[in-house]
């Protein structure tokens, strides 16, 4: 039987020039750098409070280290030439109205230098596959209204706005986020 070149023996998955793998705690610094760079590219000039107040870089790295240590959060990273250039996270939904069969994707970020090269779609497909493997039936995520790029991406992927919204009280502009939902199988 021929081996599948998209899967390496260690369970890592190839997508073109990108290697997808499970994140490790020691990836926190690189994940934070991608997270910040992507948010900077999306929100700088669109949000009055950018950059947000709060944690400095060391604090953000410490937060990612904590999150990556949690058994309740699953993170997949995308690497190119050994460097993390994107990531996605999955966990059970923490929304107040969530049923036990609903997962959420709290983050999916790609370094702007890797945009429009298929990594975001590969990470999203990996997250959907992981949520299904964990026996979730639906996957939700929240998108800030000013992030029209993300809205178009998730629309094209098949996510549908479900009518729920929330306001980010930590921003001067009180940014509104809309929830999107994807069914993962027959109900």
Could you tell me the pLDDT band of residue 171, with boundaries at 50, 70 and 90? low
Model pTM score? 0.87
Q: What is the DSSP letter of 171?
A: S
**pLDDT classification of 50: cutoffs 50, 70, 90:** low
Q: Does the pLDDT at position 156 exceed 60? A: yes
Is the pLDDT reported for residue 7 higher than 60?
no
pLDDT at 186: 53
The pLDDT value given to residue 21: 96
Least confident of 40-49, 63-72, 128-137: 40-49
Of 144 and 47, which is predicted with more confidence?
Answer: 144
User: What pLDDT does 166 receive?
Assistant: 92
List, for residues 87-103, the tens digit of each pLDDT value: 999 999 999 999 999 99
Alpha-carbon span 49 to 33, nearest angstrom: 19
Q: Residue 77 burial (CB < 10 Å; 0-12/13-18/19+)?
A: buried
Q: Which CATH architecture has domain 13-183?
A: 3-Layer(aba) Sandwich (3.40)
Higher per-residue pLDDT: 168 or 164: 164
Residue 17 Cα distances to 20, 21, 140, angstroms: 10, 13, 28
Q: Are strands 74-80 and 83-92 parallel, antiparallel or unpaired?
A: antiparallel
Distance linking the first and last C-alpha atoms of the chain:
35
What is the Cα–Cα distance from 90 to 30, expressed in whole angstroms?
A: 18
pLDDT at 49: 67
Q: Are 179 and 162 in contact (CB under 8 A)?
A: yes
pLDDT of amino acid 86: 97
């Amino acid at each position: 039987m021929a081996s599948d070149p998209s899967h390496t023996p260690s369970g890592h998955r190839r997508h073109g020039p990108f290697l997808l793998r499970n994140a490790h705690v020691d990836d926190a610094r690189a994940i934070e750098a991608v997270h910040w760079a992507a948010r900077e590219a999306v929100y700088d000039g669109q949000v009055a409070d950018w950059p947000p107040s709060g944690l400095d870089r060391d604090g953000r790295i410490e937060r990612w280290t904590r999150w990556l240590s949690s058994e309740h959060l699953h993170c997949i990273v995308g690497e190119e030439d050994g460097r993390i250039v994107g990531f996605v996270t999955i966990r059970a939904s923490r929304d107040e109205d969530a049923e036990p069969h609903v997962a959420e994707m709290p983050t999916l970020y790609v370094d702007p230098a890797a945009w429009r090269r298929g990594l975001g779609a590969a990470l999203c497909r990996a997250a959907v596959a992981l949520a299904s493997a964990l026996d979730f039936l639906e996957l939700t995520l929240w998108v800030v209204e000013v992030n029209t790029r993300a809205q178009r991406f998730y629309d094209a992927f098949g996510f549908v706005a479900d009518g729920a919204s929330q306001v980010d009280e930590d921003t001067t502009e009180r940014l509104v986020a809309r929830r999107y939902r994807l069914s993962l199988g027959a109900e």
